[in-house]
Structure 1
């Protein structure tokens, strides 16, 4: 069992609340109100800006050049791929980049992003990875599950989102992140330290649930 699978098993209630949230169910069904998805997507864009900064912090916290390159790939994936997906979707509603970037951060967005940055600032690379993992790997799990369930149909207005996070490219990114976290853990994780890493993972998972709920509350 790799570190991510161990964390996921030990944080099972928090993980289920996050990955099986009502927001996810409605998104998969295509019944999520558009205003909820719009609010989520704008806030997720703002979230990803801070997430890119967290990956950039990972460069500073990296003990090896290989780790620095992994952190850099995370920054590039956000700036070159994920943010552009959000611009594409928001643009289809007539919302330009400038309007998205000038939107105010909602409280759950601030809480989650500052938590991740603080975890990285206060700890080492493994602490940062534990705080990043629920987002990075969780979206891959959700996207893959929705495809298996047949949710990425033409009639689903959120098919583009599902296709992005179920794509081969994103699935590889998530697997690579889990392997990277394992490699870090091989060098620094001890059993006495594990509860702290688990606590970070649990908190990040709870904050993911709060992020979905923020979207639902927008209706």
Structure 2
């Protein structure tokens, strides 16, 4: 069994919780509250911006041109391709994508990004891949599960979203990330492997929390206060 196959097996409980989440099942059924979709797109736009920055940190830690090219390719995918599922959500709620950009992060999204940045700054390339991999991997399996369960056709309101994440392009992203992580894990010490496993599991858990954050329209507790320079 490969290292990433073992990771998937160890985190089956979290993957299943993600598949069962009301937001995810709502996508399959074609019924997600408008407010939840808005909250999701606002947060995910900023999350993906941070995701690309983590790839940038990976580039700075790369020692070969092959790795530099690899992470650059991944940035291009997020930058130029992952706008399509966002646009599908925006079309369904009648709000332009541009209107949902530039908002402060809700607590869970804020925590998730700081979790990624911590491992990117403090960890190895293996930890960086481990902290990023649950995002495309869970989305790939979500897309595949929704296709299998609901068999959406082109008239399904979220058909573009589902078909995007079930597509071979995302499968290729996951496949190449898994292969590179398997290589790096093989070269790592047992202690380093434990750090990789912990980073991966927490990202899986935060993927579930991200869906919950969007579905409940999570906000920071307390009234917003403006702090001026004089204070």
Q: Considering the TM-score relative to the shorter chain, is it more than 0.5?
A: yes
Matches within 5 A, 1:51-90: 51-87=51-87, 89-90=89-90
C-alpha distance 96-150 of structure 1, shift in aligned 2 (>3 A):
closer
C-alpha distance 151-106 of structure 1, shift in aligned 2 (>3 A):
farther
CA deviation profile, 1:92-134 (whole Å, cap 9, x unmatched)? 6453444222222111111111111111101111011110011
TM-score by length of structure 2 reads 0.85
Which structure has the bigger radius of gyration?
2
Q: Could you say what secondary structure the match of 1:149 adopts? A: helix
- Structure 1: segments with no counterpart, 5+ residues: none
- Structure 2: segments with no counterpart, 5+ residues: 219-231
TM-score by length of structure 1 reads 0.90
CA deviation profile, 1:194-216 (whole Å, cap 9, x unmatched)? 22211111111111111000121
> Which ranges of 4 or more aligned residues in structure 1 deviate by more than 6 Å?
none
C-alpha distance 156-84 of structure 1, shift in aligned 2 (>3 A):
closer
| Alpha-carbon separation, structure 1, partners of 2:2 and 2:38 | 35
Q: In angstroms, what is the RMSD of aligned CA positions?
A: 2.0
| Alpha-carbon separation, structure 2, partners of 1:29 and 1:2 | 35
Q: What's 2:28 paired with?
A: 28
Number of aligned positions between the proteins: 218
Q: What's 1:128 paired with?
A: 128
Q: Does 1:209 align with 2:198?
A: no
Quote the offset at 1:91 in angstroms. Answer: 5.4
Q: Could you say what secondary structure the match of 2:104 adopts? A: coil
Matches within 5 A, 1:1-219: 1-87=1-87, 89-90=89-90, 93-187=93-187, 189-218=188-217
